[in-house]
Amino acid sequence: MRFPGVFRNIARRLAGKTILDASTAEELEEALLGADVGFETVEKLLKGLEDSSAHAGGVQAGLRESIVGLLSSGGAAAVNEGREKPGVIFVAGVNGVGKTTTIAKLAHFYKKQGREVLLSAADTFRAAAIDQLEIWAGRVGAPIVKHKPGADPAAVVFDSVSAARARGMDLVIVDTAGRLHTRQNLMEELKKITRSVEKANGRPPDETLLVLDATTGQNAVAQAREFMNAIPVTGLVLAKMDSSARGGTVISIMDELGVPVKLIGTGEKLDDLEVFDPGKFVEMLFEEGG
Ligand SMILES: Nc1nc2c(ncn2[C@@H]2O[C@H](COP(=O)(O)OP(=O)(O)O)[C@@H](O)[C@H]2O)c(=O)[nH]1
Ligand SMILES: [Mg+2]
C-alpha cells in the first residue's frame, strides 16, 4: 500500500526541529488538512505539539506519537469472536463500500486458522447480493444460509445462527443490505436483525463491524454517525485503503468517532485484509509510501 508524499513531506519539513515555530505550524496544518485529516483533529494534533515547548526526540517524533495515541484511543483492536460458539459478526455499511468483499476476506482469514465459518446472506434486498455472497462462499469454502430475494433478513439471520449452533460451528458472518427504500427502513431493519441474533444466540452480535470506504474521507464520518445512531458499532473496517489518496482519513475517523478501526482492506483479493496496527500504520504513512 502506498500513499502519495504528503506525510513524507511533513516528515522532511519537521526533520531536526525540536520546537514548532509559527510558520512550520502553519505549513503542517495545511499539509494535514490536505492529507484528509479532519479540521478538529488537526487542531488537536497541533495544540498538542505547541503545548510541549520542546520535544526531546524532535517535533516529528512528537507528531508521530500523537497520531499513534489518537489511533490507539478507541480501545481494543481485535475482532471479538465471542465467548461461546458460535460468535456472530454483524457487518453493516452502505452499498458499494466493500461489505461483501470484506466478509469474504474475513471468512478466508478465519478458515486459514482452521475455524468453521458460516456466511449469512441477509442482504435480501437485491438478488445479486445473495448471488455475490454465494460465489465468495464457494471460493472460500464456507457454507452459506440464504433465503429468496425479498425475504425477511431477520429470518435469514435466525436460521443462520441456528444452523451454526446445530453444527457446532465457530463463527457466523452476516452480510446486510446497504440500501433499502429509505434510510429509515434500513436502520430499522438493522436493528431488527440485531434482535434476531439475540433471539437465536442468547446474546447480541459479538462484533458489529461498520465498513467504510477509505476514499470518501469526511463523508465516511457522516455515514458512520448515522449507523452508530441505529446499532452499537464496535469496530470499523476501512476498505479500499489501497486506493485511498491520502491516508489521513483513518486518523480523523478514529478521533471523531471514538470507535477503533479494527481491519483495513488493501485490495480486491481474499488475502487483502489486514488487522489494523496503529504503530505500523503511522510508520508506513511517514516512511514507506510517504
Ligand atoms: N481496491 C479495493 N477495492 C475493494 C476493496 N474492498 C472492496 N473493493 C471493491 O469495491 C466494490 C464493492 O464491493 P462490495 O463488497 O460488493 O461492496 P458492498 O456493496 O458494500 O457489499 C467491488 O468492486 C470490490 O472489489 C479494497 O479493499 N480495495
Ligand atoms: Mg454487498
Chain segment 14-26, per-residue pLDDT in tens: 888 888 888 888 9
Residue 288 has pLDDT above 70, yes or no: no
pTM score above 0.85: yes
Residue 7 pLDDT: 79
Residue 51 has pLDDT above 80, yes or no: no
Give the model confidence (pLDDT) of 183-216 as tens digits. 889 999 999 999 999 999 999 999 999 999 988 8
Residue 289: pLDDT band with limits 50, 70, 90: very low
What does the block give as the cell for 32?
494535514
Residue 14 pLDDT: 83
Rounded to whole angstroms, how far apart are CA atoms 88 and 230? 18
| Å from CA of 250 to ligand 2 middle | 22
Q: What's the mean pLDDT in 72-78?
A: 76
List the domain boundaries for the chain. 6-72, 87-288
Task: Tally Cβ neighbours within 10 Å of residue 110.
Answer: 21
Of 271, 194, 196, the closest CA to residue 234 belongs to: 194
| Å from CA of 102 to ligand 1 middle | 8
Q: What's the mean pLDDT in 47-63?
A: 77
Of 97, 92, 75, the closest CA to residue 276 belongs to: 75
Q: What's the mean pLDDT in 34-52?
A: 85
Domain 6-72 has CATH 1.20.120.140: yes
Stronger pLDDT, 73 or 226, i.e. the higher one: 226
Give the model confidence (pLDDT) of 93-151 as tens digits. 999 999 999 999 999 999 999 999 999 999 999 899 999 999 999 999 999 999 999 99
Written as one letter, the residue type at 72 is: S
Give the model confidence (pLDDT) of 147-177 as tens digits. 999 999 999 999 999 999 999 999 999 999 9
CATH class of 87-288: alpha beta
- Is 130's C-beta closer than 6 angstroms to any atom of ligand 1? no
The answer to whether 147 and 155 are in contact (CB under 8 A) is: yes
Give the model confidence (pLDDT) of 237-287 as tens digits. 999 988 865 677 788 888 888 899 999 999 999 999 999 999 888 888 887
Residue 290 pLDDT: 40
- Is 178's C-beta closer than 6 angstroms to any atom of ligand 1? yes
Give 181's contacts (C-beta < 8 A, 6+ positions apart): none
Residue 72 pLDDT: 85
Rounded to whole angstroms, how far apart are CA atoms 153 and 105? 22
Residue 11 burial class via C-beta count within 10 angstroms: exposed 0-12, middle 13-18, buried 19 and up: middle
Beta bridge partners of 237: 211, 263
- Is 99's C-beta closer than 6 angstroms to any atom of ligand 1? yes
Residue 53: pLDDT band with limits 50, 70, 90: low
SS3 199: helix
Of 101, 121, 91, the closest CA to residue 210 belongs to: 91
- C-alpha pair distances (Å), 140 with each of 109, 117, 119, 271: 9, 10, 10, 11
SS3 17: coil
Residue 2: pLDDT band with limits 50, 70, 90: low
| Å from CA of 215 to ligand 1 middle | 12
